[in-house]
């Protein structure tokens, strides 16, 4: 396996967190294993990574209940069709994905938009799945325009996805450091969660919020009008962080002509 799987035992729930290798941006898919089924969160960028996740999920011997897409960046939904189940998302996220065109895997394979567009709308609130309460929260601003955060209050698990990165460089293409800082503060203020699942990087604890706040403050200080200078400065401050290519992708949106529908 090219990715890394971390298993977290929470009694009635086990979390299987798959992190893609560095060259695939350390993007994560989380398999939430309940007593009788599996809920998958996000679907990877490279189809090969999605296939690894699906093969691992099949080895758990339980049906895949659904795939949830948390936001409309391709590294979290390109592999959706590989999961072979209904794809769920917030209405805003669904619409943002539907506005994009067909895509391409790193191998050159075409990814038809119709195959990855969510078809089941998530409404914010609480849904009980297999006896486990799942709390769906819609967040605006930050790493993406709209993001879904998932909370499992009985297990103390916060699935923050791309509102939290753990020891990886940040994609700043949405150009909203202030909104991201505000979102992190809101998540950190809810102290009932001892396990934080990031959208890029390995699972963490609440200490990840301070790490992220420091990085955002440094990015705000260092980010000027020269993307390469910014990359050199931020990687010098965080030399051990993974996926530096995320900086390059963000710089394309900040200093180029693309709009921020990437990471």
pLDDT number for residue 261? 44
Checking if the pLDDT of 183 tops 80, the result is yes
> What are the angstrom distances between the C-alpha of 214 and each of 70, 105, 162, 181?
24, 34, 16, 10
Is residue 54 assigned to a domain? yes
Structural domain includes residue 260: no
User: What total of structural domains would you count in the chain?
Assistant: 1
Residue 247, domain member (yes or no): yes
Rounded CA-CA distance 97/108 in Å is 20
Domain contains 129: yes
* Residue ranges making up the domain that contains 18: 4-255
The 10s digit of each residue's pLDDT in 16-28 is 999 999 999 999 9
Q: Is residue 60 part of a domain?
A: yes
* 258, pLDDT greater than 80: no
Distances (CA, A) of 24 to 74, 195, 243: 12, 24, 8
Q: Calculate the CA dihedral of residues 214, 215, 216, 222 and round it to 10 degrees.
A: 110
- Work out the pLDDT band at 58, boundaries 50, 70, 90: very high
CB 228, CB 255: distance < 8 Å = no
Can you name the residues that pair with 104 across neighbouring β-strands? 110
Cα torsion 164, 170, 174, 177: sign: positive
> What are the tens digits of pLDDT across the range 95-119?
999 999 999 999 999 999 999 999 9
pLDDT at 262 over 70: no
Q: Is residue 75 in a domain?
A: yes
Residue 59 in domain: yes
User: Please, what is the average pLDDT of the chain?
Assistant: 96
Share of the chain above pLDDT 90, in %: 97
Model confidence pLDDT, tens digit, residues 225-245: 999 999 999 999 999 999 999
Quick check: 80 pLDDT over 90? yes
pLDDT interval class at 256 (50, 70, 90) = confident
**Residue pLDDT, tens place only, 127-168:** 999 999 999 999 999 999 999 999 999 999 999 999 999 999
CA-nearest of 84, 83, 121, 115 to 100 is 115
The CATH number covering residue 161 comes to 3.60.15.10
pLDDT of residue 263: 56
Residues 6+ apart with CB under 8 A from 99: none
Task: Give, as one character, the DSSP assignment of residue 257.
Answer: S
Q: What is the pTM of this model?
A: 0.95
Any domain includes 263? no
């Amino acid at each position: 396996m090219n990715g890394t799987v971390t298993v977290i035992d929470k009694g009635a729930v086990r979390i299987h967190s798959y992190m893609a290798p560095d060259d695939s941006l350390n993007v994560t898919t989380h398999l939430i294993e309940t007593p009788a089924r599996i809920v998958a969160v996000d679907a990877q960028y490279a189809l090969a990574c999605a296939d690894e996740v699906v093969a691992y999920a099949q080895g758990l011997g339980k049906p895949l209940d659904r795939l949830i897409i948390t936001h409309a960046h391709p590294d979290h939904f390109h592999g959706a069709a590989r999961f072979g189940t209904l794809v769920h998302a917030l209405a805003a996220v669904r619409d943002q994905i539907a506005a994009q065109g067909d895509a391409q895997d790193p191998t050159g394979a075409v990814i038809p938009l119709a195959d990855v567009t969510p078809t089941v709308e998530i409404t914010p609130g609480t849904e009980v799945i297999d006896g486990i309460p799942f709390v769906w929260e819609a967040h605006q601003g930050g790493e993406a325009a709209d993001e879904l955060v998932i909370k499992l209050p009985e297990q103390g698990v916060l699935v923050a996805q791309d509102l939290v990165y753990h020891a990886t460089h940040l994609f700043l293409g949405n150009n909203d450091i202030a909104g991201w800082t505000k979102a992190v503060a809101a998540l950190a203020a809810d102290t009932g969660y001892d396990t934080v699942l990031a959208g890029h990087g390995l699972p963490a604890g609440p200490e990840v919020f301070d790490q992220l706040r420091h990085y955002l403050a440094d990015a705000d200080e260092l980010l000027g009008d020269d993307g390469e200078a910014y990359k050199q400065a931020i990687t010098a401050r965080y030399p051990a962080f993974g996926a530096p290519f995320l900086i390059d992708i963000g710089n394309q949106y900040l200093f180029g002509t693309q709009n921020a529908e990437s990471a």
